[in-house]
């Protein structure tokens, strides 16, 4: 029963987010601030993780190629497919559910605890539009992070594969170019947009409707991370089933 | 003037406000007092529209809050200022932007024009040269003054204060009380203050509403509160040793 009520409350929140818009000049500033907080400040961790995971994928693939009939180009191919189809869109989203999601929940939750949300309402601001809408717009830039993640993952794989002595440069690049379906990029970016929406709204819901004090802010952040991750995994499964299965 | 007619508010099974009727007069500091849990803050939140009463009506100058259309509600918001218990200043903004925020929401004036008004109200609450500081960099008393500045920056007709001097030393608390009263007189606004501090009652209580367990059990002036025979009120007023001693001295003198 509680879950049903929570789901209803989430959709009612979305309705309010898109009603009674905040003044345009104020909203513009908020959007730039959110892009900085949620996108630009996430670039470092995304770049670091993507680069090294790309490297690990290349090494793991190479170490498991003990059949001489399997071409070495598979190392580049496996790195590309892993990065584009799953690692960059899905796992980066889960990593960002920890980083950006917790940030969103704790920021909004702290505002709730310290009555800043009440202050917005008394001033006549639609607090949900003011707090959540700029985050949704900022997260529209999430695919840029995913592009960077894809590129750095493949670069990491290339450097680990070639300079680690597992593949030649020509083999790796041939593997990267082998049987490339542009639709895989469409699939990856389509689900990235869905994950971006979840990343902006689920942690916001947890922060906005939390009750209690600072201890509960911490608990809400943890819950937000768990639920955002669960929803990303479920959405990933459904989208994959719909778009990729024959 | 604000008129409250028979409002009730309950959360689930708990009935917090049980049919309260009173008026808060213009140009006066109206106090809602009572022990913790008596429903003071819930009543204040009903007055500012943060909670909707389950029944009853609140009138702002004879216009019922429940019957106002969106535009009337927007105008009422513009005419309302509120001082929250903890200040509720926006952490992400400096003092200048905090005070400017309500102006930006309701006005299309240029930033220099808005800044002039911000500096004017900051000066009124005796705060200068703090414009670029953040809320975390100033004291509790200064936060309250910034919050008052933000509440009055739009020249409101109604000012609501939730425990304005909680957590402050007695001298700063008196300063805040006097500031609220002076602003009320200067601008002829309707001010409603929620407090359980008897010093505030002594300082600024022109009209006092006493709540107990969600019911209005007494209302009057600060002169009358010391003469009433209402047991609930005397229990509350003389719960501090200082006021007990004052009463004993008065009895001996009489």
Please write the tens of the pLDDT for every residue from B123-161: 888 888 899 999 999 988 889 889 989 988 988 899 999
pLDDT of residue A245: 82
Nearest residue, CB atoms, B50 vs list A33, A116, A122: A122
CA-CA distance, B32 to B190, in Å (whole number)? 13
Query: Are the beta carbons of B193 and B29 closer than 8 angstroms?
Result: yes
Average pLDDT estimate for B80-93: 90
Task: Give the DSSP letter string of chain A.
Answer: -HHHHHHHHHHHHHHHHTSSPPPHHHHHHHHHHHIIIIIGGGHHHHHHHHHHHHHHHHHHHHHT---TTS-THHHHHHHHHIIIIIIIIIIHHHHHIIIIIHHHHHHHHHHHHTTHHHHHHHHT--HHHHHHHHHHHHHTTHHHHHHHHHHHHHHHHHHHHHHTTSS-HHHHHHHHHTT--HHHHHHHHHHHHHHHHHHHHHHHHHHHT--SSHHHHHHHHHHHHHHHHHHHHHHHHHHHHHHT--
Q: At residue A115, what are phi and psi to the nearest 5 degrees?
A: 65, 15
Cβ-based burial of B86 (10 A; exposed 0-12, middle 13-18, buried ≥19):
middle
SS3 state of residue B37: coil
Cβ–Cβ under 8 Å, residues A150 and A89: no
* Residue with more model confidence, B15 or B167: B15
- Asked if the C-beta of B74 comes within 8 angstroms of chain A's C-beta atoms, the answer is yes
Least confident of A65-69, A102-106, A107-111: A65-69
Residue B250 has pLDDT above 80, yes or no: no
* Nearest chain B residue (CA) to A30: B92
The pLDDT-based confidence of B100 (bands split at 50, 70, 90) is very high
Which band of pLDDT confidence, cut at 50, 70 and 90, is reported for residue B229?
confident
Minimum mean pLDDT range among A75-79, B97-101, B105-109 = B105-109
Three-state secondary-structure class, residue B29: strand
Residue of B nearest to A110 (CA): B91
pLDDT higher than 70, residue A246: no
Question: What is chain A's alpha carbon radius of gyration, rounded to the nearest angstrom?
Answer: 21
Mark yes or no for CB contact B104/A125 under 8 Å: no
A6-34 pLDDT, tens digit each: 999 999 999 999 988 888 888 999 999 99
Q: Please, what is the average pLDDT of chain A?
A: 93
Pairwise CA distance, residues B9 & B17, whole Å: 5
pLDDT for the residue numbered B254: 67
Residue that has been written with the tokens 């932007």 in this structure: B97
ipTM of this complex prediction, to 2 decimal places: 0.87
B123 CB burial (10 A radius; 0-12, 13-18, 19+): exposed
Segment A192-212 mean pLDDT:
95
Taking only the tens place, the pLDDT of each residue in A131-140 is 999 999 999 9
**B201-238 in b/e burial notation, b at 16+ Cβ within 10 A?**
bebbbbbbbbbbebbbbbbbebeebbeeeeebbbebbb
Residues in chain A with CB shorter than 8 Å from the CB of B84 are 115, 118-119
Percent of chain A with pLDDT over 90: 85
pLDDT value at B239 more than 80: no
| Per-residue pLDDT at A131 | 95
Q: Is the pLDDT of residue B240 over 80?
A: no
Q: What is the structure's pLDDT at A214?
A: 86
Query: How close A214 comes to chain B (CA, Å)?
Result: 14
Average pLDDT over residues B192-200: 86
Residue A82's pLDDT is what? 94
Q: How far apart are CA B251 and CA B239, in angstroms?
A: 17
pLDDT at res. A31: 96
CA gap B75, B157 in Å, rounded: 11
Q: How far apart are CA B117 and CA A163, in angstroms?
A: 65
Of the partner residues A33, A111, A124, the one whose CB lies closest to the CB of residue B105? A124
- Give residues with Cβ within 8 angstroms of B166, minimum separation 6: B85, B197
Mutate to test the interface with B, among A119, A127, A130 (most CBs of B within 10 A): A119
Query: What local confidence, expressed as pLDDT, does residue A96 receive?
Result: 93
The answer to whether the beta carbons of residues B101 and B150 sit under 8 Å apart is yes
Interface probe for B, chosen from A30, A115, A120, A127 (most Cβ of B below 10 Å), is: A115
pLDDT tens for each residue of A30-57: 999 999 999 999 999 999 999 999 999 9
pLDDT at A240: 94
Least confident stretch, A115-129, A186-200, B176-190: B176-190
Topology of the domain comprising B1-79+156-223:
Rossmann fold (3.40.50)
């Amino acid at each position: 029963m509680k879950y049903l009520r929570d789901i209803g409350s989430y959709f009612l929140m979305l309705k309010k987010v898109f009603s009674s818009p905040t003044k345009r000049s104020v909203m513009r500033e908020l959007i730039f601030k959110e892009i900085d907080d949620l996108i630009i400040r996430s670039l470092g961790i995304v770049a670091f993780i993507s680069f090294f995971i790309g490297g690990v994928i290349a090494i793991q693939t190479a170490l498991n190629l003990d059949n001489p009939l399997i071409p070495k180009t598979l190392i580049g191919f496996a790195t590309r497919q892993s990065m584009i189809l799953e690692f960059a869109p899905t796992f980066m989203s889960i990593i960002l559910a920890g980083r950006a999601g917790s940030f969103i929940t704790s920021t909004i939750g702290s505002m709730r605890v310290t009555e800043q949300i009440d202050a917005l309402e008394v001033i006549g601001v639609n607090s949900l539009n003011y707090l959540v809408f700029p985050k949704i717009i900022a997260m529209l830039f999430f695919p840029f992070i995913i592009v960077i993640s894809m590129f750095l993952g493949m670069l990491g794989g290339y450097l680990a594969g070639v300079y680690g002595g597992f593949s030649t440069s020509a083999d790796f690049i041939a593997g990267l170019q082998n049987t490339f379906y542009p639709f895989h990029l469409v699939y990856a970016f389509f689900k990235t947009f869905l994950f971006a929406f979840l990343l902006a709204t689920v942690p916001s819901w947890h922060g906005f409707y939390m009750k209690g004090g600072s201890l509960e802010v911490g608990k809400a952040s943890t819950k937000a991370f768990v639920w955002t991750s669960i929803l990303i995994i479920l959405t990933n499964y459904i989208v994959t089933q719909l778009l990729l299965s024959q | 003037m604000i008129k409250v007619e028979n409002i009730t508010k309950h959360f689930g099974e708990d009935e917090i406000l049980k049919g309260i009727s009173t008026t808060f007069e213009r140009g006066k500091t109206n106090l809602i007092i009572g022990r913790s849990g008596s429903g003071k803050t819930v009543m204040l939140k009903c007055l500012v529209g943060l909670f909707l009463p389950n029944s009853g009506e609140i009138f702002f100058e004879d216009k019922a809050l429940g019957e106002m259309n969106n535009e009337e509600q927007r105008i009422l918001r513009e005419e309302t200022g509120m001082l929250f218990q903890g200040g509720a200043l926006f952490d992400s903004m400096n003092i200048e932007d905090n005070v400017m925020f309500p102006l930006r929401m309701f006005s299309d004036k240029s930033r220099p024009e808005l800044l002039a008004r911000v500096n004017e109200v900051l000066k009124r609450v005796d705060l200068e040269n703090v414009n670029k500081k953040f809320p975390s960099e100033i004291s509790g008393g200064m936060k309250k003054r910034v919050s008052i500045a933000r509440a009055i920056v739009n020249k409101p007709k109604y000012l609501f204060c939730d425990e304005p001097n909680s957590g402050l030393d007695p001298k700063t608390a008196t300063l805040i009380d006097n500031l609220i009263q002076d602003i009320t007189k200067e601008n002829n606004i309707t001010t409603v203050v929620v407090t359980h501090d008897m010093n505030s009652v002594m300082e600024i209580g022109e009209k006092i509403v006493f709540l107990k367990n969600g019911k209005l059990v007494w209302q009057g002036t600060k002169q009358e509160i010391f003469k009433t025979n209402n047991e609930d009120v005397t229990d509350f007023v003389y719960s501090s040793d200082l006021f007990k001693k004052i009463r004993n001295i008065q009895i001996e003198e009489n």
